[in-house]
Amino acid sequence: MTDSTHTIERGIAGTRLAALAAVMIPAGRGLPDAPAAGVPGAMLDRILALRPEAGAILADAVAFRTELSPEDAVPAMAREEPALLSALFEVLAAAYYLAPAVRAGIGYSGQQALALPRGGFGAEDLVLEMMESPNRFRVPPDFVVSGVRQSDTGQSHES
């Protein structure tokens, strides 16, 4: 985490960031809001470790229209600085979906290593139908398929 981010996550700035995060990602459908999921907090720290430059996005967001309440600042940001809103949302959402409670709540356990089915690739009968249909490619007037001897392409590499 950068020093500037460390500062943002604490004190008044951190409070503002948490409030903005709660507006952008509220509780619902049995899921916690962003602060309760560690955004800001442990989950956001992980994103900032991956993306130190994201600290500047958070700083800009915290500094945006501080005279407005968080509830009013978020729609104002959407109107006035949509690029900042998108960047902030990307950072907050990336952190939010790292939270174990959130992942459990949506039934997502990450990408799993799956075994390939042994019974075929699927829809084999439909492939046969397609295979028997007429050619669909256009044939240029000088079309030749055997212009180069196979032996001229060298040997296949075994690595």
Short-list 56, 35, 19, 26, CA closest to 99? 35
| Residue 135 beta carbon to other proteins: minimum distance, rounded to whole angstroms | 5
Site for other proteins in 90-119 (CB under 8 A): 90-91, 93-95, 97-98, 102-103, 106-108, 110-117
Nearer Cβ to other proteins (11/140): 140
Q: What is the largest CA-CA distance in the chain?
A: 75
11 vs 158, beta carbon nearer other proteins: 158
Cα–Cα nearest to 92, from 27, 29, 18, 28? 18
In angstroms, what is the minimal distance from the CB of 67 to other proteins? 20
Using CB under 8 A as the binding rule, whether residue 147 contacts other proteins is answered as yes
Burial (CB < 10 A; 0-12, 13-18, 19+), residue 2, is middle
Stretch 29-68 residues interacting with other proteins (CB under 8 A): 29, 31, 46-47, 50-51, 53-54
CB of 119 to other proteins, least distance (A): 9
Size of the site for other proteins (CB under 8 A): 74
- Of the candidate spans 1-9, 10-18, 58-66, 147-155, the one that interacts with other proteins by CB under 8 A turns out to be 147-155
| Distance from C-alpha of 42 to C-alpha of 39, rounded to nearest angstrom | 7
Fill in the amino acid letter for 138.
R
Residue 105, token pair as written in the block: 């709540």
